[in-house]
Structure 1
């Protein structure tokens, strides 16, 4: 009976959070770098085609990574400049739509005048503020976004800079919080849950941790 109640509570919690979340759909050529001022660990997103976000304002730093043809029609690796987009998530899903680049020349033109759009699940345009990050390739993107958000730029969100300077850890490190809070081990199979765990509010984290601990105690 106790096990049944715990499982029921867990599914109820997950269902409640899911109905309040927005899925940010990620194309294969999108490399997500920073979310809401926090560095995203590549291992957490490996193989994932979407990211669950709480409803409300979000800021994403990403770049395109793909193979493009050079003048001799040879495919070579190409990486765009880091791009910033700030938006308000109030729908079920949001997709970042990028141009279909095939040549290095097109890639260079995109870097000069980047153009992309956000659409919801009904292909309605989502209002957003867009910019690009002027930074060296080996720079710390998380720190660069702190500086960007404190400068009052087009897509700046000052509170993401303040929350970072308050001493919060990155999403990659927060995976350890998930393991410690729930008594679990961090495995490749739990990457998506770890990432979701970092995005939900503290009250939801506490309820999930209590449910999982109760489940193991049965």
Structure 2
């Protein structure tokens, strides 16, 4: 009997366990540098790659770069590594992929570094609320990316964790204000004519408080 109950509980919990995390699909040519401030085990030469990573639901931060072979001049090829890019986002139970332009030449890579664009995509749509930035470092073989990201996150930069937390707090405050308005609106509509008159008289007399 106990075994039957255990199996039943496992079957009930299985769907929720399967969708209790965020999966990041990392396409070829993208190199993860840090994940939530921790070194992702990247190669300084840029030839490593990961198919996907699984993160907890909630706020996460990825720092990555484009790292691929591109055409330089004529038939010559070279390794292009973009400036590190930052994506900070809040997601729950989603499969997300990193989408970047298809850079084929060194010139395109240089233009990308000047004006980088990328998306985090889920269900064929850009994920809403992603904060994006570029670290703008001169990447070197000795760069300590975990330390660089730690320093970045202590600033007020757009995709820093400190700035993201402040932005979310403001969003919550605005949402609470809207909830109060909607509650008052519902109460006013359900009140009688006399009750509405009394409320309006009181509201106008206390408008400046």
TM-score (norm 1): 0.62
Tell me which structure has the larger Cα radius of gyration. Answer: 2
What is the count of residue pairs matched by the alignment?
158
Equivalent residue runs for 1:3-42 within 5 Å: 16-42=16-42
Which residue pairs with 1:153 in the alignment?
157
* Runs of at least 5 residues in structure 2 that lack an aligned partner in the other structure: 165-209
Shift of 1:30: 0.8
1:68 is the counterpart of 2:80 = no
TM-score (norm 2): 0.65
1:52/1:7 CA distance change after superposition, 3 Å: farther
Q: How far apart, CA to CA, are the structure 1 residues paired with 2:51 and 2:131? A: 23
Q: How big is the alpha-carbon RMSD for the aligned residues of Structure 1 and Structure 2?
A: 3.1
Q: Deviations over 1:119-172 (max 9, x none)?
A: 112434433111111334221000011100001111000399xxxxxxxxxxxx
| Secondary structure of 2:158 counterpart | coil
Structure with the bigger RCO (C-alpha within 8 Å, sep 6+) is 1
Matches within 5 A, 1:130-141: 130-135=132-137, 136-137=139-140, 138-141=142-145
Question: Residue by residue, what CA displacement relative to the aligned partner does 1:51-100 show, whole Å, maximum 9, x if unpaired?
Answer: 11111111110011101101223221111111111111124211111001
Change beyond 3 A, Cα 1:102–1:19? same
The residue matched to 1:101 in structure 2 has which SS? coil
CA 1:132/1:47 → structure 2, altered by over 3 Å: closer, same or farther? Answer: closer
**Structure 1 runs, 4 residues or longer, greater than 6 Å off:** 2-14
From the superposition, tell whether residues 83 and 47 of structure 1 become closer, same or farther in structure 2 (CA, over 3 Å).
closer
Q: Match of 1:106, SS?
A: helix
Of residues 126-135 and 10-19 in structure 1, the stretch that sits farther from structure 2 once superposed is 10-19
